[in-house]
Structure 1
Amino acid sequence: MIKNSLEKITILKTASLVEALKKMDIEGVKLLIVVENGLFYGLISIGDIQRAIINNKPFSIEIQNIIRSNIFVASAGDDPEEIKQDMLLRKIEFMPVVNDRKEIVDVLFWEDLFKDSPLPSHYEKINLPVVIMAGGRGERLKPLTNVIPKPLIPLGEKPIIDEIIESFQRNGCNKFYISVNYMSDMIRDHFLKKGNYENIEFIQENKPLGTAGSLFYLKGKISSTFFVNNCDVLIKQNYAEIYNYHRESRNEITIVASLKSTKVPYGLVETEENGRITGITEKPYVNYMVNTGLYLLEPHLLDELKEGEPLNITSLIEGILARRGRAGSFPISEDSWFDIGEIGDYWKLINSVRVKQKGHEY
């Protein structure tokens, strides 16, 4: 049994950052045991990987170069009750038990020790305003959006906009601004029937204003750091961690970016002067960061917007960079980003085990 468990949560110290992130996504964990020649070497967490990407480490870096030394493991002979209490205190999803020869003699899992209590999520309460951009026509989601606006497209038993709001509420965010245009009456009626209208304010676009233009109408309403979330994306991430990075980096705007890995279906030829071949890589993976559609902004950026002028948030970022302002990105894994912007993505998500089931979160 220990062998089967170990196979899912161990990774070689020579594995790359990307390989570790992929394994976390596949196994649904945020922590892996790092091994060398079958022996315990260390632990690597999703936080370690995110810090490495933020510090501009290459995606190909071996994880032995980014793991921390201050980790918590149990020793063979430790009192099982003390190990259990330590896991409870630190909210650790599993605890390896290691002997003097660095052999992993056991792994204690939260779900085995605390059968009736799911692992608590670390949701620091930040209570920041949230703007949801819900005014688009959802052209890429037709024919669904011919009869229902994109924010009300269902994911399981709830529309996506409800899932977005609930994900922020877990972090203590309770004030929401929803920018609407297409089928706006249907969106308003949805919240009116739910009876939770008091913490929601609508921004009515009289014409399409892009992904940032309607933010102009929040001048005088928002005076703190605030989130902007496109209505077709869900992010599985503790928003407080994004905010802490944004604040510590003194960013004016932070993009949440997903690490994507795509296999090139051809052999790549590398050449130099006169066409001389210097190397051939057969069907390599290309790794890159993509914009997820979730942002964190400082309120002074509202002063840079003009009334009624269409503007995409990418253009706002370009303006910040042009004046040498501070813009940053917070990395998340590919499986922490749920995008239904296109009809194919929507059906894929609906048919996936990742769709929220009763008692589980995205």
Structure 2
Amino acid sequence: MQLFDWHSIAISPSDSIREALTVLDQQSLQIVLVVDDNQALVGTVTDGDVRRALLRGETLNSEVSSAMNRSPTIGLNNETEVVWHQKMLRKSLRHLPIADENNKVIGLYYQKGQVTEVRKNPIVLMLGGQGMRLRPLTETVPKPMLMVGNQPILETIVKHIAEQGFTEFYFCINYLGEQIRKHFGNGEKWGINITYIQENAAMGTAGALSLLPLLPKEPFIVMNGDLLTKINLCSLIKFHKEHDNKVTACVREYTQQVPYGVVELDGSYVSQMVEKPSYRYFVNAGIYCLSPETLQLVPQNEFYDMPTLIAEILSDKEKVGGFPITEYWMDIGQMPDFEQAQMDYEVYFNHLDEVG
């Protein structure tokens, strides 16, 4: 335990949710303090608070006051460290803002290097694509093995997931897959166990699930192997279970601005004209949590995509959840994405160079 200088994780109530997410990603303390001009605490923000706000209809441009917890648990500077620790234990907290009698923030008490429990949930990484949109880079190197920062994309993914306590990995490989197998071996270097699933032909984003040697006993994660993200998979699994979903698909907010005035017609008459409107969508982020029984729907050794699986589950009137990703996320699908990832790596993932 230690008291942390809180200034780098403080924002004002009028700052945007987007600004809160930037602080969450860059400081990696999983909490933001919202303070007024007198440095008095008015609320706290975690990724869960942001996720709930987005599901309520707030946007990344909304003020953070619309997402913050207005009644956080705090410690007082005239209390002992034992009392602070007891407050955290009672509510399973990792962080405790410390304030004086006037509610002015003086520090953040937190558990540094918290031990993460070993997670039994399998991680299935889809690594068989040819990466055609990144040619010529992928002519001799599979996309997951392209270097971003000082290591392959896939190594960054594996290290981030392993840090969260996950140890059982399935690598679904096809195109130039031997390069992946040679680099990672059995996973011992990273403290994980890797089982390789060899696709003999393109099987889509879900087809390789029929090749899993064992039926998972717990909800499991399926993730594309070309994503850089700091998603908290433990939160995803918790969300999946709490909502009793068959599948939970991760989504990312995407805003598109029309560069023209949009005219709505009623017959031959103008009913409304909106100048350069913005439309907000949730887009598929390529990460899923599945309950084991969903595998019964996947055909054996055939091409099969995740949207098809989700459509079948919806047609059966089963629950499919949407989990907004509030952390950093980048789909490295095209050259501009690859170039942006190179710049982002130093900000979000540089510490992982020392892991493994």
TM-score by length of 1: 0.78
**Percent same amino acid at aligned positions?**
27
Correspondence list, 1:114-263, <5 A: 119-120=112-113, 123-192=116-185, 199-218=193-212, 220-262=214-256
Q: Quote the Cα distance in structure 1 between the aligned partners of 2:281 and 2:114.
A: 28
Give the secondary structure class of the aligned counterpart of 2:350. coil
Q: Quote the Cα distance in structure 1 between the aligned partners of 2:83 and 2:295.
A: 50
Q: Quote the Cα distance in structure 2 between the aligned partners of 1:294 and 1:355.
A: 19
Correspondence list, 1:338-349, <5 A: 338-349=330-341
CA distance 1:259–1:78, shift in 2 (3 Å): farther
Give the secondary structure class of the aligned counterpart of 2:211. helix
User: Following TM superposition, by how much is the alpha carbon of 1:339 offset from its aligned partner in structure 2, in angstroms?
Assistant: 2.6
AA aligned to 1:58 is E
Q: In 2, are the aligned partners of 1:133 and 1:231 still within 8 Å (CA)?
A: yes
User: Following TM superposition, by how much is the alpha carbon of 1:346 offset from its aligned partner in structure 2, in angstroms?
Assistant: 1.5
CA distance 1:220–1:360, shift in 2 (3 Å): closer
AA aligned to 2:310 is I
AA aligned to 1:347 is E
Correspondence list, 1:1-362, <5 A: 9-12=10-13, 17=17, 20-21=20-21, 24=24, 30-35=30-35, 40-54=41-55, 56-59=56-59, 63-75=64-76, 78=78, 90-92=93-95, 95=97, 97-100=99-102, 104=104, 106-108=105-107, 119-120=112-113, 123-192=116-185, 199-218=193-212, 220-262=214-256, 264=257, 266=259, 268-269=261-262, 271=264, 273=266, 274-277=269-272, 279-280=274-275, 286-333=279-326, 335-352=327-344, 353-354=346-347, 356-358=349-351
CA distance 1:265–1:86, shift in 2 (3 Å): farther
Q: How many residues align?
A: 342
Of 351-360 and 208-217, deviating more is: 351-360
Give the secondary structure class of the aligned counterpart of 1:275. strand
User: Following TM superposition, by how much is the alpha carbon of 1:200 offset from its aligned partner in structure 2, in angstroms?
Assistant: 1.9
Q: Quote the Cα distance in structure 2 between the aligned partners of 1:26 and 1:120.
A: 17
Over aligned residue pairs, what C-alpha RMSD do you find?
3.7
Q: Quote the Cα distance in structure 2 between the aligned partners of 1:69 and 1:270.
A: 41
Deviations 1:205-247 (A, max 9, x none): 1111111111111264434321111111133132211111101
Q: Quote the Cα distance in structure 2 between the aligned partners of 1:45 and 1:236.
A: 14
Q: Quote the Cα distance in structure 2 between the aligned partners of 1:275 and 1:308.
A: 53
Deviations 1:253-283 (A, max 9, x none): 1112223345x27354464642144554x5x
Q: In 1, are the aligned partners of 2:134 and 2:334 still within 8 Å (CA)?
A: yes
User: Following TM superposition, by how much is the alpha carbon of 1:146 offset from its aligned partner in structure 2, in angstroms?
Assistant: 0.7
TM-score by length of 2: 0.79
AA aligned to 1:32 is V
CA distance 1:216–1:346, shift in 2 (3 Å): same
CA distance 1:74–1:124, shift in 2 (3 Å): same
User: Following TM superposition, by how much is the alpha carbon of 1:21 offset from its aligned partner in structure 2, in angstroms?
Assistant: 3.7
AA aligned to 2:163 is R
Deviations 1:57-116 (A, max 9, x none): 3337654454334413355x6368679868997432x8363553x5x4x54256xxx9xx
Listed as ranges, the gaps of 5+ residues in structure 2 are 1-5
Give the secondary structure class of the aligned counterpart of 2:330. strand
User: Following TM superposition, by how much is the alpha carbon of 1:48 offset from its aligned partner in structure 2, in angstroms?
Assistant: 1.1
Q: Quote the Cα distance in structure 2 between the aligned partners of 1:261 and 1:361.
A: 36
Q: In 2, are the aligned partners of 1:181 and 1:207 still within 8 Å (CA)?
A: yes
